[in-house]
Amino acid sequence: MAVASSQKFDEIRVFEGIAERTGNIVDRDTIRGSKAMCRSLTELTRRARRMGDGTFYLPVALWPEGKTTLPMSETWTTLS
């Protein structure tokens, strides 16, 4: 299937629990087999928590529109 190989991925930099797009876009073939490739925001969050700071790749269409950064861990709010 030729469409899958032309899929584009945003390069995402996670530093101190905050994810931010670097502005670089790569082809799927460039990162094929990389442990940093994520298929969803949930997978990005899990990997960032497990692997720590680093560079990850997320399909272009999955980054939330209008967001420049995303926290990888939310602080719990106590309901009392």
Determine, yes or no, domain membership for 49. Answer: yes
Rounded to 5 degrees, φ, ψ at 37 are -80, 125
Determine, yes or no, domain membership for 78. Answer: no
Determine, yes or no, domain membership for 79. Answer: no
Domain total of the chain: 1
Task: Read off the pLDDT of each residue in 21-25 and give the average, rounded to a whole number.
Answer: 95
Domain that holds residue 23: 2-71
- The C-alpha atoms of residue 29 and residue 27 are separated, in whole angstroms, by 5
Determine, yes or no, domain membership for 80. Answer: no
Say what the pTM is: 0.81
Q: What pLDDT digit, counting tens, does each position of 26-73 carry?
A: 999 999 889 999 999 999 999 998 998 999 999 999 999 989 899 987
Determine, yes or no, domain membership for 76. Answer: no
- The C-alpha atoms of residue 33 and residue 71 are separated, in whole angstroms, by 26
Question: By C-alpha distance, which of 23, 1, 29 is closest to 11?
Answer: 23
